[in-house]
């Protein structure tokens, strides 16, 4: 039963991410368009662990805490195995930031990226 609920949740997450990726963002890009995508792979939690309370970090909050302005974010869920001991959560967290903030983003584990792949 738990696997069915997880499967349905995963499908809902994929659909909602696709719907949200088409929306416009309130933050305006800087006038010079000097922006770059960065990414970080995040995983955590543990399958079969009823005490698991892993909550993935909010991408924007993580970068903002280092003084990095974020213009757009996207999360690409990754498939994990369902065996006990496998992560309960895995995703690539993308953010569009000013290029001059790349070093600061690197210091907290973000790497330069081509950006999220669009299925549309």
pLDDT at 18 over 90: no
pTM of the model: 0.70
pLDDT at 97 over 70: yes
Which of 4, 6, 5, 1 is CA-nearest to residue 80?
6
pLDDT at 120 over 70: no
The 8-class DSSP code of residue 99 comes to G
Which of 55, 67, 58, 57 is CA-nearest to residue 105?
67
pLDDT at 118: 64
Phi, psi of 101 (to 5 degrees): -100, 10
Average pLDDT of the residues of the chain: 80
Q: Where are the alpha helices (DSSP H) in the chain?
A: 2-21, 59-64, 102-107
Cβ-based neighbours of 31, under 8 Å, separated by 6 or more: none
């Amino acid at each position: 039963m738990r696997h069915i609920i997880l499967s349905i949740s995963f499908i809902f997450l994929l659909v909602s991410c696709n719907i949200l990726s088409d929306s416009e963002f309130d933050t305006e890009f800087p006038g010079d368009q000097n922006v770059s995508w960065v990414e970080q792979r995040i995983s955590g939690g543990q399958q079969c662990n009823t005490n698991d309370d892993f909550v993935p970090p909010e991408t924007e909050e993580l970068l903002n805490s280092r003084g990095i302005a974020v213009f757009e974010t996207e999360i690409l869920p990754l498939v994990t195995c369902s065996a006990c001991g496998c992560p309960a959560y895995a995703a690539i967290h993308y953010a569009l930031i000013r290029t001059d903030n790349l070093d600061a983003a690197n210091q907290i584990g973000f790497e330069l990226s081509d950006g999220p792949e669009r299925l549309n």
